[in-house]
Structure 1
Amino acid sequence: MPPGQEGGEQVDWLAVERDLGCRLPADFRALVTVYGVGTIDERVMVLPPRSTAHESGIPSVGQMTPSAEKTAWLEHTKSTYPLWPAPGSLLCGLRMVDGNGDLWGAVYWRTTGPEPDRWPVVVWERYRPFVEFELNVTGLLVTWLSEAADIDFDQRMVFGAPHSRFIHWRTERAMRERGVDPWEYLEPLYLEANEEWEERNLVGVPRTSAAAREIESKTAR
């Protein structure tokens, strides 16, 4: 999945450290430097590394990090993690959204100790418990992008190689201003994945059912 032609962000990382009160992991800094702030397959957003709002409209690391000022999420996640900036609290790097653009989940670092590169990542998805991985953010993205075919369709976040695309926020904005849908390439991918899902889950269903006839008609076309 190559970065866009516009390249990544020019970031003053010392200023970011002063702003957030901590240093971010090296792999995330490299991700932002090479790719920039933007979105993968309209579902996974690389957040702006700052505490305040960003001109892209994508929530920043600080805005997505659960702190004493932002606790509403605790009511439905039942999180037992301490609030930022307490030791072991969660700091957010990626935001996940559903097909309507609503918050679906997030990828956090669990800030255990003074070495950011040793922080494990914690994934939260709506209606699911928090899951911790001994990976960094880019390692998790590589896993998603290389193994997306094994993800159930209902929970699919990215399609993986060779389909997935990263679109920088400036590119997305420019395309929309020209009346171009930047995510148009996803429609046939979702249609194909949906048909495969239906076929897998209709095994044993009588072929006279309406759903089975619909699959037959799609296959015939």
Structure 2
Amino acid sequence: MGSPVDSAAVQTLSPLLLSDYAVGEQVDWLRLSRSWETDFPSDYVAFMSAYGAGGISDAFELLRPDESATEDSDGMTGETANARDGFSRWTSYECGMVEFLRRVFSGELEACPLSDATLWGTGAQKFVHWKEERRLLSGVDPWTGEPDPLAGVGFD
């Protein structure tokens, strides 16, 4: 489903998105496209194939689609509903997700488009796959590699 152009876009991003934990996602895109009643952008598909879902520098999460667009969840289904509710306040960029991330990391947009400037114009970022985040959060901070003093502490 991804194209050579989209694979090249991910390769262009890779010097700015470092990872020891990029394991990709095994996704049945045809089945998910049917369930969601839409095709997923080819650069997103290429990104998921190379990196998978996960966090970027403890500031941004990339989600993989829920199995059904009708699931009641906090995952992509919930975030899609949030995005649709606030769409009139969003700015549209003439690029795909992968190029957008590259421009954010390199500071090539007119202004920081995110509410948190952690990723803005600071160059290389660290990606941690969601499975590794989960494993490391049991006692090791996935962003620093240090013991996590808050591991196992519940918050209300």
In structure 2, relative to structure 1, the CA distance for the partners of 1:5 and 1:43 (3 Å cut) is closer
Once residues 38 and 144 of structure 1 are traced to their aligned partners in structure 2, the CA distance between those partners, rounded to angstroms, is: 17
> What are structure 2's unaligned runs of at least 5 residues?
1-16, 146-156
Say which of 78, 89, 96 aligns to 1:63: 78
**1:138 counterpart = 2:154:** no
Letter of the aligned partner of 2:126 in structure 1?
Answer: R
- Name the counterpart of 1:161: 123
Give yes or no for contact 2:59–2:119 (8 Å, CA) kept in 1: yes
The percent of aligned pairs where both chains have the same amino acid is 25
Give yes or no for contact 2:53–2:64 (8 Å, CA) kept in 1: yes
Greater strand share, structure number: 1
- Name the counterpart of 2:25: 9
In structure 2, relative to structure 1, the CA distance for the partners of 1:45 and 1:173 (3 Å cut) is same
Letter of the aligned partner of 2:128 in structure 1?
Answer: I
Once residues 21 and 143 of structure 1 are traced to their aligned partners in structure 2, the CA distance between those partners, rounded to angstroms, is: 29
State TM-score, norm by structure 2. 0.65
> What are structure 1's unaligned runs of at least 5 residues?
81-128, 186-221
Once residues 50 and 112 of structure 2 are traced to their aligned partners in structure 1, the CA distance between those partners, rounded to angstroms, is: 27
- Name the counterpart of 1:20: 36
Once residues 45 and 32 of structure 1 are traced to their aligned partners in structure 2, the CA distance between those partners, rounded to angstroms, is: 12
In structure 2, relative to structure 1, the CA distance for the partners of 1:18 and 1:173 (3 Å cut) is same
**1:184 counterpart = 2:144:** yes
Q: Which structure: larger Rg?
A: 1
Give yes or no for contact 1:4–1:168 (8 Å, CA) kept in 2: no
Once residues 169 and 19 of structure 1 are traced to their aligned partners in structure 2, the CA distance between those partners, rounded to angstroms, is: 23
Residue 49 of structure 1 deviates from its aligned partner by: 1.8
Once residues 116 and 21 of structure 2 are traced to their aligned partners in structure 1, the CA distance between those partners, rounded to angstroms, is: 30
